[in-house]
Amino acid sequence: MKKITTILIYAFITIVLFVFVFHYIWMVLTSFKTRLDIFTVPPKFIFKPYLQNYIDVFTRGRFLRNFLNSAIVVACATFISVAVGTPAAYSLARFELMGKKHISMWILSIRMMPPIVAVIPFFLIASKLRILDTHGLLMLVYMTFNLPFVIWILRSFFEDVPIELEQAAILDGYSRWSIFTKVALPLVKPGLVSVTILCIIFSWNEFLFANVLTKEVAQTLPPAISVLVTTRTVQWGRVGALATLVVLPIVIFTYFIQRHMVRGLTLGAVKG
């Protein structure tokens, strides 16, 4: 009986895993296929790798430019979101503010708004301000969506830091700011790591805003893929290659940092 249960569980896991991983496998396989192989039915799983797709990505598109744009926008948006969001989260966790509940709810409601709702207003405002297709605009948009997230996650982390730790420091003559940096901040490190990673992933993969608000100068990687899908043809080989290159940094990054992330997401409680 126990054996059957185990088999069923593994069968279930295999199916779920297949569903989740299959399109990645498909993507990577496609990137190494010739145009002919891509459309072969039944699909080939064993074939001679074809590298022209990758060569094309590097030589015929603007891969490096787009990659750099992505890196700049993601790094700045994440850094500013975390740098601004952390003190905000601390304040909401520790101070008695007027209308604290409403402020929190308002911040969360920004996150609740579907991004598509904001696209057109953002586009119109940006075009009036003549800041379309700039890095700054994209950073601003990503911060709009990252900040509430940072604040809400970190607020609960700060709330889990026993208040007595800070009170002990108050008695010793520490200022609010030094308590924040010396006591509270080190204790929410797992939370900081988590929100940083999640902000990076969100901004790196973001397509909608990048597609609408940028064109050439500040275009990031995700919309660059869509350029390959034209009305006349879809260059699946290059789409696969480019998509693989977009996903790769995040996969590597997540692989190395996942230990901190799991700890960060489960270890909300800091026990004195």
Partner 1 sequence: MAKVVLKNVYKSYGEVKAIRGVNLSCEEGQLLALLGPSGAGKTTTLKLIAGLEKCDGGEIFLNDRNVNEVSPFERNVAMTFENYALYPHFTVFENLAFPLRSPRRRHIYSEKDVRKKVEEIATLLGIHQLLDRRPTQLSGGQRQRVSLGRMLVTNPDVFLMDEPIAHLDAKLRYFLTGEIKKLQKRLGVTTIYTTHDYMEALAIGDRVAVINTGKVLQVGSPDEIFNRPNTEFIGKLIGDPPMNVLECEIVKKEKNYFLKIGELIHPLSARMAEKLLQEVKDGKSRVGIRPTDMQVSREKIPGYPEMEVYVSEPLGDKEILTLKKGNVSIQAKIKAGLESKVGEHLWVKFDFKRLHFFDRETGNRIHLDVEYLVL
Site for partner 1, rule CB under 8 A: 162, 164-165, 167-175, 178, 183, 186-187, 270-272
Would the CA dihedral through 187, 193, 194, 200 be positive or negative? positive
Cβ distance to partner 1 smaller for residue 43 or 162: 162
Cβ distance to partner 1 smaller for residue 48 or 101: 101
Cβ distance to partner 1 smaller for residue 1 or 171: 171
Cβ distance to partner 1 smaller for residue 141 or 161: 161
CB 46 within 8 Å of CB 33: no
Query: Closest approach of Cβ 197 to partner 1, in Å?
Result: 21
Query: Closest approach of Cβ 195 to partner 1, in Å?
Result: 19
Which residue is listed with tokens 């057109």? 120
Cβ distance to partner 1 smaller for residue 40 or 266: 266
Query: Closest approach of Cβ 188 to partner 1, in Å?
Result: 11
As a dihedral over the C-alpha atoms of residue 201, residue 249, residue 229, residue 76, rounded to 10 degrees, the angle is 50
Residue 88 CA to residue 151 CA, distance in Å, equals 6
CB 200 within 8 Å of CB 74: yes
Buried b (16+ CB within 10 A) or exposed e, 65-94: ebbebbeebbebbbebbbeebbebbbbbbb
Query: Closest approach of Cβ 176 to partner 1, in Å?
Result: 11
Query: Closest approach of Cβ 172 to partner 1, in Å?
Result: 4
